[in-house]
Amino acid sequence: MTDNATFAKRDLSVLWHPCTQMKDHEWLPLLPIRKGDGVWLEDFEGNRYIDAISSWWVNLFGHCNPHINQRLREQAETLEHVILAGFSHEPVVKLSEKLVAMTPDGLTRCFYADNGSSAVEVALKMSFHYWRNVGRTKKTKFVTLGNSYHGETLGALAVGDVAVVVAASAPHRGEAFEAAR
């Protein structure tokens, strides 16, 4: 059986973690997780931790949710993934119809991204292209807020303000403004 220290050593020898200054792990221990159940995460030594941020806001219904896992198994038996560039399938059209029905008038289409950073990139690109398409070609700046985080891609970093990653996006950053308190 693996213990936390052994697993952490393996991890840190082959992996860079997002939104992490890796030198911090010289003094701040990595938390190796073996399994999850509901709101709980468990390490290799049986210690339990509450996943208070739902693993970056992804596991909103808890880890190993039986209903979600069953639906994932059912879908995987039919179709795991199909590229949406020139292709379509029933689940994506059904979901899009439900989402469009909930949105305000004028929002009639869905665009899917596979993670939050990519969703921010898509939003930036759509905004940029919208203004170009309506002839407002001088609208080329984005509002960014101080102390904000939107993801790890270059565009998402450029509109965020996390000190550890600001330098990585410096060539693409504008001026940041701190949000009113």
Alpha-carbon dihedral 37, 46, 6, 21, rounded to 10 degrees: 60
Give the tens place of pLDDT for each residue, 118-158.
999 999 999 999 999 999 999 988 888 878 888 888 888 88
- Predicted TM-score of the model (pTM): 0.72
Long-range contacts of 22-30 (CB under 8 A, 24+ apart): 29/4
Token pair, residue 25, equals 């792990």
The alpha-helical segments, DSSP class H, found in the chain are 4-14, 54-57, 66-78, 90-102, 116-133, 154-158, 163-169
**Beta-bridge partner residues of 48:** 42
In the predicted model, is pLDDT for residue 179 greater than 70?
no
Task: Write the pLDDT tens digit of every residue in 50-61.
Answer: 999 998 888 899
Retrieve residue 105's tokens.
């008038």
Return the CATH fold of 1-78.
Aspartate Aminotransferase, domain 1 (3.90.1150)
pLDDT value, residue 25: 87
CATH 3.90.1150.10: which residues of the chain?
A: 1-78
The string of pLDDT tens digits covering residues 69-128 is 999 999 999 999 999 999 999 999 999 999 999 999 999 999 999 888 899 999 999 999
